[in-house]
A and B are shown apart, each in its own frame.
Chain A
Amino acid sequence: MKVKSYFFRCVQYVFLVTAFVLAVFPFYWMVVGTTNSAVDIIKGKITFGDQLIPNLKKLFADYDVGRIFWNSCKVSILTLIGQLLISSMAAYGFEFFASKARERVYRAVLLTMMVPFAALMIPLFRLIVRFHLLDTHTGLILTSLASVFLIFFFRQSYKSFPKEIIQAARVDGAGEFRIFWSIVAPAMKATYAAAAIYSFMTSWNNYMWPLIVLQSNNQKTMQLFVSSLASAYFPEYGVVMNAILISTLPMIVIFFSLQNYFVRGITGSVKQ
């Protein structure tokens, strides 16, 4: 019995280690790639080389990476703030002020998730032009202010929030916004953190829509930049790898620093 369970445990570890290595290896390769030349990368070299400084020099000499990086940060952070505020408020309304009519609206909102974005692109673009928001970060941010997924996510999390607390606050004479703002929201820190990661992740990695809205070089975001860099007839892969790493780094940093909140936040939303 003892031997069997030991063996079983070993199998489990082997499985987990394999999954871990498979998941992480491409990241390792990306980091290695930043130090190699294009030819070595295509040949599949998996050890560190000495091209890091030349690659970086070329990247920063040829492109205004700082500016592009800042654009991405700006768009992602502003979108994040807007999405969190608007989506959590909406979910609050749907959950704590439930009514038949609003429930219908909620269902309709969820259904829109099924429509592929490609179908909406052209009418959406017409709107952007009509509002004179073409080639502005405002246009990009405004169109993604309400995230259907986040509304759903927040609402799921609110479900486990004890309604008695709200009731008690009302008895104490607190206004509705104060209840939302200083009682409910602070109690759901983990949910907000998880939502923030999700929101940042989607807008940081967003590609198709920024591509259409943003037109000039000084508005460009990281993803647009990396993609144009990687699609040259003969890409400088060493340089591309550095750009890729720079574009991935913020996500990795944010996830590492907030991952405990992230898991807790999702845990809160999946509680029934």
Chain B
Amino acid sequence: MKRLLSLVLVGLLCVSILGTVGIAAEKKGKLTIWAWDPNFNIPVMAEAKARYQKLNPKVEIEIVEMAKADVEQRLNTVLASGAREGLPDIVLIEDYNAQKYLQAYPGAFVDLTKAINFKEFAAYKTELMTLNRKIYGVPFDSGVSALFYRRDILAEAGYKPEDLYNITWDQLIEIGKKVKAKTGKALLGFDPADGGLIRIMMQSTGEWYFDEQGNPKIVNNEAIREAFKIYKKLMDSGIIKQTSGWNEWVASFNNGDSAAVITGCWIIGSIKAEKSQSGLWGVAPTPRLNLKNSVNYSNLGGSSWYITARSRNRQVAEDFMKTTFAADRDFYQKILVGQGALGSYLPAQDGPAFTEPDPFFGGQKVFADLAAWMREIPPVNYGLFTYEADSALMAVMPDYIAGRIDLDTALQRAAVQLENQIAF
């Protein structure tokens, strides 16, 4: 009986893939989902759940919320133990880690190449979840980066919004110096221990810590060299407000101590949290590096959903993702307004929420701009060892910034450490 039922299900699935669905099969079963941010991807998933359950009332969905490090720890423990239980049906994975999971645990995630029309998603997102021409995830939020700035402070220093378009980091530093001189405010809250900006700079050139074969490319990586120089310039220029950790960094612009912030678009929620600054903010594209292949579009962070191969309700999980994240345009409007979640599903991006002017940003159509920039992000294969590389580079950064070692020594040291770290 069970076998018959699953045969029928598989049959139905084939039919639906061919696009000639006759009867809608009633979906049943329970889905467990792991995600991590109670103010971001959790409510987004809750919205998807509500929408899906309206159509499929018999599907039970449990969203389990935990810290991001905890999701990773559990996922690794369960996958490594080879246990058949203990995994969720759907799990959120940070984009930088995607290849690591896909390659370290072959067969652990469902190949969705045929199930989902990936042409409808931003190209750079599908690239990072592709392994051997198969695509394994459902792209979720974009971390398209931008220069978020305070209109009032920059105006006081004599800058118009246009002055911030199409600029390089060096030009930005010059702007920062003038801002500091005229207003006394720092340009950026900046954490020299955080390698996020290096990744923004690198991706703007289409480069990463590794070459196409996946070997480390550190010492002769122009993007990294430039990025290091800019870190030092930022520290030496006196235009930054040094911070440590998330809270201080957020406080630096919430308090109005700094005039701008350059990071992924997921920061919008935190910027808007300070309601007294409504109308004072604006958004411009990311500065680019002084390199030929660098563009004014990049990315920081972002994550995607993956279905585990051992899921007992794989078909339901696929159907759930397909009807929500890969089809529901209205859903994307809702989460954009509610959580500021900028999905990478392109057909949703001419919806009303994207095209509406945002009074907090002085009437700018922020999300329309960000969506347009998102399409221009150079695709990059993040490879297996993003965090190892980040750790190796940031370990030498303090010595480099303090001038104790020069650039070549610093990068050589980092390269040696990285080689050792990724040895197998």
Contacts and interface: CB of A to CB of B under 8 A. Distances in A.
A196 B77 CA distance: 31
A216 interface: yes
Contact of B39 (A39, A43, A122, A233): A233
Interface string A28-45: 000000000011001100
Q: Do most interface residues of chain A lie in helix, strand or loop, or is the interface mixed?
A: helix
Contacts of B82: 126
Interface string A228-244: 11111111100000000
B402 interface: no
A228 B81 contact: no
A269 B221 CA distance: 62
Nearest to A217: B64
A167 interface: no
A137 B67 CA distance: 20
Nearest to B251: A42
Contacts of B84: 129
B86 A232 contact: no
Interface string B255-282: 1000000000010011001100000000
B38 A39 contact: no
Interface in A242-267: none
B290 interface: no
Contacts of B86: 129, 134-135, 215
A68 B53 CA distance: 26
A228 B269 contact: no
B168 to A, nearest CB: 29
Contact of A231 (B32, B67, B80): B67
B183 interface: no
B66 A234 contact: no
B67 A129 contact: no
Nearest to B64: A217
Contacts of B246: 233
Given A42-B251, A134-B86, A212-B77, A233 B70 contact: no
A121 B73 CA distance: 11
A228 B65 contact: yes
B40 interface: yes
B247 interface: yes
B68 interface: yes
A202 interface: no
A39 B78 CA distance: 38
Interface in A46-77: 62
A227 B70 contact: yes
Nearest to A130: B83
A129 B79 CA distance: 12
A149 interface: no
A125 interface: yes
A211 interface: yes
B345 interface: no
Contacts of A122: 77, 80-81
A132 B82 CA distance: 14
A224 interface: yes
Contact of B77 (A39, A121, A233, A235): A121
B310 to A, nearest CB: 12
A129 B81 CA distance: 9
Interface in A86-122: 121-122
A125 B38 contact: no
B297 interface: no
B419 interface: no
Given A42-B247, A229-B38, A211 B73 contact: yes
Nearest to B38: A232
Nearest to B43: A62
B251 to A, nearest CB: 5
Interface in B32-67: 32, 36-40, 62-67
A227 B247 CA distance: 16
Interface string B68-94: 111001100110111111101000000
Contacts of B270: 233-234
A125 B82 CA distance: 10
Contacts of B66: 211, 224, 227-228
A125 to B, nearest CB: 5
A227 B88 CA distance: 20
Contacts of A43: 251, 255
10 contacts: A39-B274, A42-B250, A42-B251, A121-B77, A126-B81, A211-B70, A215-B88, A216-B32, A232-B39, A236-B39
